[in-house]
Structure 1
């Protein structure tokens, strides 16, 4: 009787080897982060489409181009090991200065809305937005060197001085809104990085005194020259409107009232998608950018706002979970600075439309129109993803908290 042919058995590759190979080729994905970001992005594009549908000054295709470019940037950063960047403090500082001061260069610098914040290199971009990425890396690398214990006053002042350089540069444009974002990122880095509470309180007090001095000196200058020099007229107007909404009834006060009318008219479920009257008639100022929240509230009402806030909360919680997996202080600082930046922009943008915060040009993450802004938000996702891929993807808890 013929024997069946012998089949040589092939040993299956070791699972650990396969997993390691896949990990090298495709850094681990954090699906909760991806899902929340995708939902938030889709929601934002829906609202932006409505906001630009009756405004020929904006192009929805430009937003889509920003998303496409942002996806590429996110993937590249996600795959890159963020830990290689921890020693490039000087490089980040140089890049920040070059980016933020580039709008002052002749031929490419563009002035818009009272600020020299844009450059034209075939397309207009806002370098100060892209600098948010390098500001986070700069602040994280500066503070991480102290290992979570920044209690020497001289070292604290040295770190603070380095982190204030981007703010000083951005105020030459001037762009106070973006400057405030830089300051908040620095504050988060110092708090998470172990700066002594006494140092932080003294810094806050010094900041308040500095602001008071600016206003006082500006009043003296006006008394001698007849005009303000340190603060732009629109900056002063926005602060006065915050203190007294009726202070500028035809300017920023008017904008605030229209924003509040749009929000209030939305009611519980809104006027309906593409049915908002305030922005459709051109009454709501800067609807696709600074006041995009008003478009959402007007058309989708309280329910639509609740969905947005739930998505933001989910994004923050997922990011916190990733921060808990960070095996080093540098990674922890990166994630917390990104989350801090997002939270500040959310609170400021929504707050200013309700009259709870001064009006600034701070956009709403993943919602406001702008390709530069969209690319930056994707870059932030990439940074968080990189921390996850090179720490949390192993399934182990971050070791920083127990080893420092």
Structure 2
């Protein structure tokens, strides 16, 4: 049976592949420390779970409108107004089966074959594949560690041409934890408007901020930018609801309608019960979010201090999300036993095989000089995992 070209060109998610391999080893009885996870290790807060149970008991188990229940879309409208200074109508909101689904819908309805999309690297793995699935061309712009891995106006303008259609901004970012300032986004916004670009603003980690940093949505900077932006967010990261699969997009009405129409022929509505739980998440107490963020900050600080003390490791201080993205430049070209370390992929393989520590090599994010460590795991695991990593690094000649 012949596969379509689009299917043959899809690369599997390296982050999920690493996580699956680590879990397989754990299932076999091996004591693996898994730094590959891209989800909070906290339970979904109790009031959200109770709302789901109440929805089941109330018989909320049937189809909903494709774009989501009016109750949830209104809760999202209120959230965007109160948290982000953005005014949308419910018909400009589309609820989907996770933020990844929202991103897919947006790219499918906005990109034509041959369109170019500016993709700052390091990037979240699925952006690249979703651009390609839409028939568009990813234009990867390598950002600089000394600039916090953030796209500058100069870098953006260096690749803009008549085929450029879109730029992706992810703040706080995965895998680097980079957080764009209001001034940085304003500068990028001027360039976006000058060249008539569309912005996909992925804000899924917006609640996971540290050190008093402010989350700013580029769409909030001016009415003109709002008309050029699709805001992507969801419930997974802030509310520990990864398995509930609820994401959403806020976009100009014609774009939102096209996304809903596309969704009507693919997945139809997201799960009714998860939508009811999401209303409780957005409208209920936010105290569990604050508690989770404080614990993430504590873990980040500990892990960062440990990594920065290792010779040959260079690691930025992330302002958000729950990842560290250390550079291993100091180890490239050196030897571990009979292995030559050519990049982070080689080192990640050594760590998993030799000391059973799972990290995600940076090649998955467009930069094989680094690897990603998630601190969405217990302090006990973090201490043990870093001890094992140090053990290997000390043996590299």
Taking structure 2 as the reference length, what is the TM-score of the superposition?
0.30
Higher relative strand content = 2
Larger Rg: 1
Higher relative helix content = 1
- Larger RCO (CA within 8 A; separation ≥ 6): 1
Taking structure 1 as the reference length, what is the TM-score of the superposition?
0.30
